[in-house]
Copies of this chain bind each other. A is one copy, B any other.
Amino acid sequence: MQPQVLISEVGPRDGLQSVQAVMPTPDKLRWLDALHAAGLREIEVGSFVPAKLLPQMADVAEVVRHALTLPGLTVMALVPNLRGAEEALRAGVHKLTIPVSASEAHSLANVRKTPEQMVDEVRRIVALRNELAPQVQVEAGVSTAFGCTLQGEVQEDDVVWLAGAVAEAGCDDVGLSDTTGMANPAQVRRLFTRVRSAIGAKTGAAHMHNTRGLGLANCLAAYDVGVRTFDASLGGLGGCPYAPGASGNVVTEDLVFMFEAMGVATGIDLGRLIEARAPLKAGLPGEPVYGMTPEAGLPKGFRPTTA
């Protein structure tokens, strides 16, 4: 059965940059191998940011080099600006993801630019991509799309405007991120529907957090209105270090279980996915790793879509 949804694993970037400890490079490579062996076919492997800001990502070029050897894998990296994009393109990634924040307060705190200035930066990154590596995909992820711990409510009009502006600037797809765990299912359905009206097939991933336990309900809501790409993090590792009080990406294991149980093919082997927790734990000793499906085990008589 062909996968019907794309689970985009963000742990090696979003997870690892959110913890204090630095995972040694050999552990990262083993973890990537295990994620790939489980069937993941898109992984955000790191971010191209100065090592003095995020020492966890100092080895990103080496990690990309290894990830490029894994067959069928879309190797994605986060780039906050043009300089990072140039490094990522030279490293050979297949896809760039650029965070743009719908909350001005969060945008300034995160990248010291207004949302409008980030749209300009996106335009420059797209131009560079067109010049250096036109086959590379460029994604924008609209962060704080459902609320902001700094400014509180984020106007839906601001989110729709920003999604339209970065699509117009040349992004191939635009996702919406619940950076701060404030989304609810009604809002998820409303906002993805509005964004789809504005930018059509460029509507991209749902990046949900589980801060208040609603992560899977919000993914279900996004699925209901046609979203087919979902960011998730193995063991729920990660959050956003610049959004105070935020925590907890959606757990890949639980998300995959939900879809497979629903009969929605993910292309992922749940048993192997749970095994991929071992190299994560080995590389980050003492770090809490979440997930209810791994704790409970698969239900008696469970049939994945591959059965």
Chain B residues whose CB sits within 8 angstroms of the CB of A212 once the complex forms:
254, 257-258, 292-293, 296, 299
- Interface hit among A63-71, A133-141, A145-153, A168-176: A145-153
Q: Does A261 contact B (CB under 8 A)?
A: yes
Q: Does A181 contact B (CB under 8 A)?
A: yes
Q: Which of B186, B257, B301 contacts A262 (CB 8 A)?
A: B186
**Nearest-Cβ distance from residue A209 to partner chain B, whole angstroms:** 10
Chain B residues whose CB sits within 8 angstroms of the CB of A224 once the complex forms:
224
Q: Does A237 contact B (CB under 8 A)?
A: no
Interface size class of A (residues with CB under 8 A): 35 or more
- Do A258 and B214 form a contact, CB below 8 Å, given A263-B186, A301-B153? yes
- Interface hit among A2-10, A18-26, A82-90, A215-223: A215-223
Interface centre among A153, A212, A296, A297 (most CB of B within 10 A): A212
Residue of B nearest to A153 (CB): B301
Q: Does A205 contact B (CB under 8 A)?
A: no
Chain B residues whose CB sits within 8 angstroms of the CB of A182 once the complex forms:
299-300, 302
Chain A contact residues: over half helix, strand or loop, or mixed? loop
**Nearest-Cβ distance from residue A195 to partner chain B, whole angstroms:** 19
Q: Does A245 contact B (CB under 8 A)?
A: yes
Chain B residues whose CB sits within 8 angstroms of the CB of A220 once the complex forms:
185, 217, 220-221
Q: A213 to B292, Cβ gap below 8 A?
A: yes
Interface centre among A181, A261, A302 (most CB of B within 10 A): A261
**Nearest-Cβ distance from residue A194 to partner chain B, whole angstroms:** 16
A30 to B257, CA, bound (A): 39
A82 to B257, CA, bound (A): 40
Q: B216 to A147, Cβ gap below 8 A?
A: no
Residue of B nearest to A258 (CB): B214
Q: Which of B210, B216, B296 contacts A181 (CB 8 A)?
A: B296
A214 to B220, CA, bound (A): 10
Chain B residues whose CB sits within 8 angstroms of the CB of A17 once the complex forms:
none
Q: Which of B149, B187, B257, B300 contacts A152 (CB 8 A)?
A: B300
Residue of B nearest to A248 (CB): B292
**Nearest-Cβ distance from residue A167 to partner chain B, whole angstroms:** 27
- Taking CB atoms and an 8 Å cut-off, the chain A residues in 272-307 that contact chain B are 291-293, 296-297, 299-302
- Taking CB atoms and an 8 Å cut-off, the chain A residues in 183-241 that contact chain B are 184-187, 210-214, 216-217, 219-221, 224
A258 to B208, CA, bound (A): 14
A263 to B301, CA, bound (A): 37
Q: Does A101 contact B (CB under 8 A)?
A: no
Residue of B nearest to A148 (CB): B300
Chain B residues whose CB sits within 8 angstroms of the CB of A254 once the complex forms:
212-214
